[in-house]
Amino acid sequence: MKAEALSSIIRGFDGGQTVVSSAAARLTVDQLLEHADELFRRSSVTSVNRIALCGLAACDLITALVAFDGRVGAMLLLPASSDSVSVDRFLAAAGCTHRMDGEGIRALPNRLEEGCSSYTDATQWLLPTSGTTGVPKLIGHTLLSLTRTVKRDVAKGRGFIWGLLYDPCRFAGLQVILQALLSGSLLSVSPSYDFDRQVEGLIAGGVNALSATPTLWRKLLMDGRIRECPLRQITLGGEIADQSLLNGLKHCFPAARIVHIYASTEAGVGFSVHDGMAGFPAAWLESERAPVPMMVRGDGHLLVRPATVPEGAETAGRLDADGYLDTEDLVRVAGDRVFFSGRASGAVNVGGNKVMPEYVEEHIRRVDGVFDVCVYGKRSSMMGQIVAADIVCESGVDSAELRREILRYCRSVMESWQVPGIISFVSELHENAAGKRERKT
């Protein structure tokens, strides 16, 4: 049985309903379908082709997804931040026969015979990620695997206006787009990746549902203007959501439903936590009550068994004989709760001792006067690395006194090799293209 395509799903919606809005235009269901059909006709692609969607703006990407899902063998989605070398590598790895970017659609030379001969089930959605070696890998999803946890209650969905802060071509951005599109919600998009213009767009669009990384949520709270949005749904993902941030969001938006989602390009959406507490219940480990089968390996790695396993060598290489995927996230069990410690590959090596930056950050944020912090490893001729911390302090705080208090507190709760050896005060912290904390090396 052939899988249902994205266009087939939304054809059942009210044609006059607006599904995407920006400062420049509004797009209804009928208009979206009309634009998608026209794009497909102009593209001259068939089911044997594989098309790369490169750095498209949200409206253009949504139109392309509706146009090509179910009609081509594969769609490769590349974020706007991808460099030309990476783009060429991905195009070759995916066997793309066509490319769509800001300049339009064109066939790729010498690749017309390299596409898949046919497909019988569903269009592949190919998303790039970086493997443990740092070499980019491609993960193969389908519309079904990407929307496994999407809520499709159209009657309820019409009450939400989703804002889009992520690059639409990334896994997190796709989750927002598909949640809005398939639940009958309105998606408000910004024409710019500039933070100030994005915030202005969220306010002007009356956004009441928003998904962002913990890094972006801290930035939004520090900026303050996000309080003008009547948020009813708050979603966090991509990084560890600590208790101080969850408490801060609850304080600012007491009526909002706050959800922390555990997801990755490799595993898809694993599970979500709705109780306002950091981590997740320990009762979910190796339990039939868990939203997805999961366990903690002896080395502290969290393993999950996805309902749908994405295709690709990167995923296959991390699956065990029972179908459990090594997430490469480290966790620790404390009482009735499981807490995330950080990525296994992200540890700072201090004289042979591994320090998790997220652990140090969590403690430093508990010190009064600290608004946010980024911990990273800095090279040391004697120790290999030492722990360094860039800190944003609250307005009016004396930095010299705060430095003393941070060191006093850290020394009281941490091992000596975990205590920051370098503390710098900065006006702001930076995030990468995925909205996650950018750690120096």
pLDDT in tens, 4-29: 899 999 998 999 999 999 877 899 99
pLDDT of residue 112: 52
Residue type, 209: A
Question: In this structure, is residue 213 part of a structural domain?
Answer: no
Q: The tokens 């496994």 sit on which residue?
A: 148
Residue 384 φ/ψ region, left for φ over 0, alpha for ψ in the -120 to 50 degree band, beta for the rest: left
Within the chain, which residues score under 50 in pLDDT? 1, 113-119, 131-133
Q: Please spell the DSSP secondary structure of 125-170, one letter per residue.
A: EEEEEE-TTS-EEEEEE-HHHHTTT----HHHHTT-EEE--S-TTS
Q: The tokens 């208090």 sit on which residue?
A: 405
pLDDT of residue 137: 79
End position of a domain, from candidates 146, 169, 192: 146
| CATH at 134 | 3.40.50.980
Question: In this structure, is residue 24 part of a structural domain?
Answer: yes
End position of a domain, from candidates 146, 161, 188: 146
| CATH at 415 | 3.30.300.30
Query: Cα–Cα distance between 20 and 161 in angstroms, integer?
Result: 10
What is the number of domains present in the chain? 2
Query: Cα–Cα distance between 294 and 355 in angstroms, integer?
Result: 25
Question: In this structure, is residue 319 part of a structural domain?
Answer: no
Q: Tell me, what DSSP letter sits at residue 431?
A: B
Question: In this structure, is residue 196 part of a structural domain?
Answer: no
The whole domain housing 116 covers 6-146
pLDDT in tens, 328-349: 899 999 999 999 999 888 899 9
pLDDT of residue 114: 46
For residue 86, count CB atoms less than 10 angstroms from its CB and return exposed for 0-12, middle for 13-18, buried for 19 or more.
Answer: middle
Question: In this structure, is residue 48 part of a structural domain?
Answer: yes
Question: In this structure, is residue 44 part of a structural domain?
Answer: yes
Residue 122 tokens, joined? 């569903």
End position of a domain, from candidates 146, 178, 210: 146
Question: In this structure, is residue 438 part of a structural domain?
Answer: no
pLDDT of residue 63: 96
Question: In this structure, is residue 246 part of a structural domain?
Answer: no
pLDDT of residue 133: 40
pLDDT of residue 375: 95
Residue 247 tokens, joined? 């408490």
Longest dimension (CA), the chain: 67
